[in-house]
Chain A
């Protein structure tokens, strides 16, 4: 999952007494685990929150092509190049399913794209960090896709039917992405001294940004509470972050790499690791546009869109000519 800080109604969760009969019936369906489908009645807040969340997720898939694309032309073997191409192609495909899921709620892909390009909509903070050495491509698969899976697996049970079905497809591919990432890390960690150094460097830089992917602690957030009630969100940010750390630390140990956290310690009582929080000031800076790559990423997306205008216009004009010919022939 690549959605962070998704705003909901901002009004907190309504009690049963405050709900209209329609809202109460809607909540009953959700509580009973019945999926909401595009033609069903839904509260406006539900619709808007989901558009924000699905849109942000879709945009993340699209912008996420850039840090990986950064290494396709430099991938060290033909097989690695092919795998990375397949992965990036999957990600563009995920963007496509997600935009299609958002479209069922009455917003077009072009509208969402415009909102990304002019900065009204966000994508995950993680893609504002650079990929600097080849091990970063391994770490992106292992940590970033690992964190995404942590969030997306429960979202397969999310209340909105088209989103849930998109997630089921996406999760299958993401687990392959994570495995290939870990496989790269294994090769690097078992490789030459230089390769080990690349692997450790990648972990050092990407560890905390990966923890940030879950968003800040949401115990006090009204947005999260409403999203949880609507089953747009299934677990809290902190629960998922804890699960991620518990899963990832033994993997790092197996690789012989050091997680860059002096406070990392197994806590037998809670059955999980104690760990340091990421620097949340840095996180909010990144969200405000001050991450290492924000400006570059948006410039690249805007350039692609602007320079592609003649292509889109040309193909539309051709389709219109064809349609006119067909009509004339009939």
Chain B
């Protein structure tokens, strides 16, 4: 498979799995505006998934579609960041996960706007507008709840402590990432870390939350070497109709 294929698959799997997680909130949010915002975020992520997996399928060249990639691969073939497959937890954990992903996602897309590969920069141009809004909202919510009541503060700190070990993976390149960087398709992942840290430091200060000292990072989702046990359950639900009724069109 080409570097472009592998890169597009990593992007698309992360947006797919996070979009799925966010969509689980439908009808259960703490306030109506949040129901709308969560559905909207999930919708953007699924829309981006169609583009990234569409590109991966095109590169694969075997006649597969974005749907084939989303619905007919098993856990070991998924290349999403582990952060995206973690369970929603309470609303605070969901929005903290969103924020930690969004800051990375925005930096990544901004860099991808300058990709040597036009199909990548086209997707980035479209997605960056959506993700700028995502990060604005998730940052405001993290700040509001971090610097809210004692209870909301504690819940947000717990969420940050739980999720932070999954951040490092987003900045840890492997051979495929390096090939994508060398080809001018994607930025050097490690180079995104400094601006990311600066953004997080500023946000957490305003939110009165403490970033954990440890830089320990769980890894393996993007390379496919290791996932959490949660992924299989997501796929069981997401892929059920396609698996139970093979060959049907919907």
Interface residues of A (CB under 8 A from B): 62, 65-66, 68-69, 72-82, 85-86, 88-89, 92-93, 95-96, 99, 109, 134, 184, 187, 191-192, 194-195, 300, 303-305, 307-319, 321
Contact = CB atoms under 8 A, between A and B. Distances in A.
A134 B153 CA distance: 41
A194 B39 CA distance: 30
B149 interface: yes
Contacts of A95: 32
A72 B32 contact: no
A89 B46 contact: no
A72 B42 CA distance: 10
B101 to A, nearest CB: 18
A325 to B, nearest CB: 11
Given A89-B43, A96-B32, A314-B148, 5 more contacts: A78-B67, A85-B26, A88-B26, A308-B91, A315-B148
Residue of A93, A109, A303 most packed against chain B (CB within 10 A):
A93
B250 A76 contact: yes
A191 B155 contact: no
B46 A73 contact: no
A89 to B, nearest CB: 4
Contacts of B39: 85-86, 88-89, 92
Contacts of B19: 81
Contacts of B31: 308, 311-312
Contacts of B178: none
A194 to B, nearest CB: 6
B24 interface: yes
Contacts of B34: 308, 311
Given A88-B27, A304-B27, A311-B92, A317 B148 contact: yes
A312 B43 contact: no
Contacts of B217: none
Given A313-B148, A321-B147, A304 B29 contact: yes
Contact of B46 (A81, A93, A109): A81
A314 B23 contact: no
A215 B39 CA distance: 31
A80 B32 CA distance: 23
A315 B50 contact: no
Interface in B155-195: 155
Given A311-B145, A318-B147, A74 B240 contact: yes
Contacts of B36: 89, 92-93, 96
A173 B147 CA distance: 38
B23 A81 contact: yes
Given A74-B240, A192-B245, A66 B27 contact: yes
B71 interface: yes
B102 to A, nearest CB: 18
Interface string B88-108: 001110000000000000000
- For A77, A79, A314, which residue has the most chain B Cβ atoms within 10 angstroms? A314
Contacts of A305: 30
B89 to A, nearest CB: 11
B67 A308 contact: no
B250 A311 contact: no
Nearest to A87: B39
A313 B152 contact: yes
B249 A191 contact: yes
B49 A78 contact: yes
Query: 7 shortest A-B CB distances, which residue pairs?
Result: A308-B30, A314-B152, A314-B148, A69-B26, A65-B27, A89-B39, A311-B30
Contacts of A86: 39, 43
Given A92-B35, A311-B91, A78 B66 contact: yes
Interface in B26-69: 26-36, 39-40, 42-43, 46-47, 49-50, 53, 66-67
The SS class assigned to the A binding surface is helix
Contacts of B248: 76, 191-192, 194-195
B250 A73 contact: no
Contacts of A72: 23-24, 26, 42
A65 B29 CA distance: 11
B152 A311 contact: yes
B70 interface: yes
B87 interface: no
A309 B30 CA distance: 7
A76 B70 CA distance: 10
B40 A89 contact: yes
A77 B67 contact: yes
B100 to A, nearest CB: 18
Given A73-B24, A78-B53, A85-B43, A65 B238 contact: no
A258 B185 CA distance: 55
A318 B43 contact: no
B220 interface: no
B145 A315 contact: yes
A222 B70 CA distance: 55
Contacts of B20: 73
